[in-house]
Amino acid sequence: MGWLHWERFLCATDCAAEPRRCVSERLFMEMADAMAADGWRDVGYEYVCIDDCWMAPTRDACGRLQPDPTRFPGGIRKLADYVHSKGLKLGIYSDVGNRTCAGFPGSYNHYELDAQTFASWGVDLLKFDGCNSGTLELLAEGYRNMSLALNRTGRSIVYSCEWPFYLRPTQQPNYTEIKQYCNHWRNFFDISDSWSSIKSILDWTAIHQDSIVKIAGPGGWNDPDMLVIGNFGLSWEQAVTQMAMWAIMAAPLFMSNDLRDISAEAKGLLQNKEVIAINQDPLGKQGYRITKVQRGLLWERPLSGRAHAVAVLNRQEIGGPRNFTFSLAFLGNGLACNPMCSVQQVLPASRDWGLHNWVSSLSVEVNPTGTALLKVVAL
């Protein structure tokens, strides 16, 4: 869990024209301040992550990556120390190829040196992109080599990969191998601040769930990309849907928004402890779609303590609220409410639905593009 600059701040490098939006040490220090002061760290958001465009255009005289001296005058080590002083961790970005996606120096032929550099700076996470990598063989070799190089540093550094995304146009990823090397990995296109983007990610995940759900678990996760809640493109119902579905999918929760200027409603949703507990459930199983019901979708996720999280998503974009009715015997292969269960609504608002038995049916009212997130605990 943490914060990542890309979707909201992109590659803004003109600090004179846009000082508050520029990718600079000021931006990351101010986000770290907000995460420590405004409750984000306390509910689990831990990583402050730099994405592309932090680098100088060239490596230094010793061949090492270096930050842009104007935008990061104190250097990355000083920034890491500042982030650590707030009880947080620092993430950084590089690329498996010879150039990053934005055209800055990549790590090709420098994996060992770059890993040692990041460790010496006190970096805690590396997002490793896949642009400009040449052949698929070089792509795979680069991801493997950087993983091994990071481990050789002796520093604990989370390794975030885009390996399967760059493989998928031409070959089926070997997720068993990818999990051996990566801690989480992107499968699909970058998220944007829009409902159409959220829908496309959910649809892709459901279509491919048979190949991706089973591999997810502690140490290795499918990453559907950043939370865009608190920006401009989602309605309230759609923001609820993203938070609920990212919890169901056991997704890494990396926000990309402006924590210095976020609404109380968005903050409350992103800091909802009941939803975060589902997302971070120690059983570590990813959820999946189990059926389509009356223009809606029903997803479930097995949780620890004989519990299941259930999401009822209304895919209609016209009309008003709809009721979706389903049997509790349908959940958890018939075991989620056998012989009895308690049902708690978590989103869009916390509500106790009381006790039910395995032949009970639930009727859930959901607004268009919204989601009801429930927790069902077998008794």
Asked whether 332 and 361 are in contact (CB, 8 A), the reply is: no
- 98 close to 65: Cβ distance less than 8 angstroms: no
Q: Which of 51, 114, 129, 223 is catalytic?
A: 129
Q: How far apart are CA 47 and CA 67, in angstroms?
A: 19
Q: Which one of 14, 42, 60, 190 is the catalytic residue?
A: 190
| Catalytic site includes residue 129 | yes
Site of tokens 């759609």: 238
DSSP-assigned states of every residue in 294-339: TTEEEEEEEETTTEEEEEEEE---SSS-EEEEEEGGGGGGGTTTSS
CB 342 within 8 A of CB 355: yes
Instruction: Write phi, then psi, for 352 (nearest 5 degrees).
Output: -85, 120
- The token pair that represents 243 in the structure block: 């938070």
User: Has 258 been annotated as catalytic?
Assistant: no
| Residues near 100 by beta carbon (within 8 Å), at least 6 away in sequence | 52, 53, 55, 93, 94, 106, 129, 131, 132
287 vs 247: CA distance, rounded Å: 9
Annotated active-site positions, please? 129, 190
